[in-house]
């Protein structure tokens, strides 16, 4: 990890009047402030069109951030919050912003520009920032970093163009493509769990693993007016291309040569390159898509929409470690519960005293990484029931983060914002990583058009046809 700079930092949030700023970014920065993780002299500067001044922006945050505003040190944090009102439509607006930031800083500072704006504004914003000199940095001087949210492109072509265009204006070391899933504790702990524990690392391959399934389940639907955006994206582009593939890459990658960001990201890209596309696969045996009942009546949704709100895929990683092991990926809206998990299911021994590997009900050994909401790890195995006879029962060892450490895990945005400020890119997505994830997603989307769109009931687990993605002895989907 890169050592933090001793210089103070200005965190400049474009789109500061939006929901993301009040709900996630400012609370995350406030928590980092309380923990002493922000450089001394850090300022938070909101940038938006609203005709506010510093006091007006602070009043807005006071009424929208929730619990942080009730903390005894909130006013201390708020004193370092500033606001710049500008439309950001012209080069003059950006030159004015540069002058305002210099005036607020007073001394040399690092700057983090967080683009909490529409994706189609990423490139115009960075282009104008570059022209105004806001991104210029010397070899040993103050640093300039830009954070962009997903979606980063809508397919391989658009993502490649956006990458190439942005990288003409700033370096890869300045660009932070954020996926908040990579800030979750259990996702981060995957590397420690796999490569620190000698009892698990030797088993993490095709010789012992029968199947891996990864689920990102959501209980919500099109709340908060998301129908218009979602109908142009769908589950494959909204969740599968980013969150699910990022988790898969960490679960499946080889051990990096170090914990430096380049080495970790190199190994993740290798996994995505080896992820089998759907060009040579029968889509009806490897893809199931669905749409929840009533989706077409949601505000902003086309009444004839064919957009999937649920998607599952069976694929493979064509490399030495994972050759032949199915990876089943699933995500959907309006499921009975919100949860994210990874289940690594182990093979049965080739011969056993208590039933052979062909007995499909015998699959006792699995490791489940619970990423949310109850972060933890479960280990399943069989034991003998006390008493006469040989009655075998399933058992489980559970590890729970909250119980073990007696403190809440930090919010994912808090961890990631601290990493940006410190210049650590390990948990951010590199340009070739983005392009490889889109390559695979595009191949899935091209073939899923050859599959039926199943309707499924709200608060169900999705189309029944998804069970057919499992082989006869491979089990079934997890349900939380």
d(CA 375, CA 401): 6
Any catalytic annotation for residue 180?
no
The CA-to-CA distance between both ends of the chain, in Å, stands at 34
Closest CA to 45 of 62, 21, 64, 63: 21
**Residue corresponding to tokens 């990658």:** 253
Residue 323, number of CB atoms within 10 A of its CB: 12
d(CA 344, CA 366): 5
Helices 431-448 and 245-252 meet at what angle, rounded to 10?
A: 120
Closest CA to 62 of 78, 86, 49: 78
d(CA 314, CA 471): 11
Closest CA to 448 of 286, 336, 291, 264: 286
Residue 207, number of CB atoms within 10 A of its CB: 10
The one-character DSSP state at 36 is T
Q: Are 81 and 44 in contact (CB under 8 A)?
A: yes
Name the maximum alpha-carbon separation found in the chain: 85
Residue 55, number of CB atoms within 10 A of its CB: 9
d(CA 259, CA 92): 42
89 Cβ contact partners less than 8 Å away, ≥ 6 residues apart:
none
Structure tokens at 194: 């796999």
Active-site annotation holder among 37, 130, 180, 243: 243
Torsion of CA 116, 121, 127, 131, to 10 degrees: -70
DSSP class per residue in 303-325: TT----SEEEEEEEB-STTTTT-
Where is 137: in which H helix or E strand?
Answer: none
d(CA 238, CA 153): 11
- Indicate the length of the chain as a whole number: 480
Where is 128: in which H helix or E strand?
Answer: helix 122-131
Catalytic residues: 243
């Amino acid at each position: 990890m890169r050592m933090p700079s001793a210089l103070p930092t200005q965190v400049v949030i474009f789109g500061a009047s939006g929901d993301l700023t009040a709900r996630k970014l400012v609370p995350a920065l406030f928590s980092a402030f309380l923990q002493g993780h922000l450089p001394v002299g850090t300022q938070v500067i909101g940038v938006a069109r609203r005709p506010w001044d510093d006091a007006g922006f602070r009043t807005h945050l006071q009424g929208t951030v929730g619990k942080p505003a009730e903390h005894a040190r909130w006013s201390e944090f708020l004193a370092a919050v500033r606001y710049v009102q500008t439309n950001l439509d012209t080069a003059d607006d950006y030159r004015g912003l540069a002058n305002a930031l210099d005036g607020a800083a007073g001394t040399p500072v690092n700057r983090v520009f967080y683009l909490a704006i529409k994706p189609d504004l990423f490139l115009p914003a960075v282009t104008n920032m570059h022209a105004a000199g806001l991104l210029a940095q010397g070899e040993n001087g103050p640093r300039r970093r830009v954070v962009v949210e997903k979606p980063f492109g809508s397919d391989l072509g658009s993502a490649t163009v956006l990458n190439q265009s942005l990288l003409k204006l700033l370096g890869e070391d300045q660009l932070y493509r954020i996926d908040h899933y990579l800030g979750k504790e259990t996702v981060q702990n995957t590397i420690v769990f796999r490569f620190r524990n000698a009892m698990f690392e030797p088993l993490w391959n095709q010789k012992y693993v029968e199947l891996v399934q990864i689920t990102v389940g959501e209980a919500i639907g099109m709340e908060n007016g998301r129908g218009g955006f979602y109908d142009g994206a769908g589950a494959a582009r909204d969740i599968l291309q980013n969150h699910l593939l990022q988790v898969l890459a960490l679960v499946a990658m080889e051990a990096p040569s170090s914990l430096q960001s380049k080495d970790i990201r190199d190994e993740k890209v290798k996994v995505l390159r080896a992820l089998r596309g759907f060009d040579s696969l029968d889509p009806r045996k490897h893809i199931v898509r669905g749409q929840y009942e009533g989706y077409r009546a949601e505000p902003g949704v086309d009444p004839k929409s064919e957009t999937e709100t649920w998607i599952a895929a069976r694929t493979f990683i064509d490399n030495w470690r994972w050759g032949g092991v199915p990876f089943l990926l699933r995500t959907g809206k309006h499921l009975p519960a919100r949860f994210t998990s990874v289940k690594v299911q182990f093979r049965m021994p080739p011969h056993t005293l208590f039933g052979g590997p062909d007995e499909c009900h015998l699959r006792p050994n699995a490791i489940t990484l619970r990423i949310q909401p109850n972060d933890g790890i479960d280990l399943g195995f069989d034991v003998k029931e006390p008493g006469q006879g040989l009655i075998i029962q399933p058992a489980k060892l559970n590890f729970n983060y909250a119980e073990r450490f007696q403190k809440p895990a930090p919010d994912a945005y808090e961890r990631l914002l601290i990493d940006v400020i410190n210049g650590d890119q390990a948990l951010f997505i590199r340009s070739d990583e983005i392009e490889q994830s889109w390559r695979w997603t595009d191949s899935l989307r091209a073939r899923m058009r050859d599959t039926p769109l199943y309707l499924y009931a709200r608060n169900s687990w999705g189309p029944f046809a998804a069970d057919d993605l499992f082989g006869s002895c491979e089990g079934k989907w997890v349900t939380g």
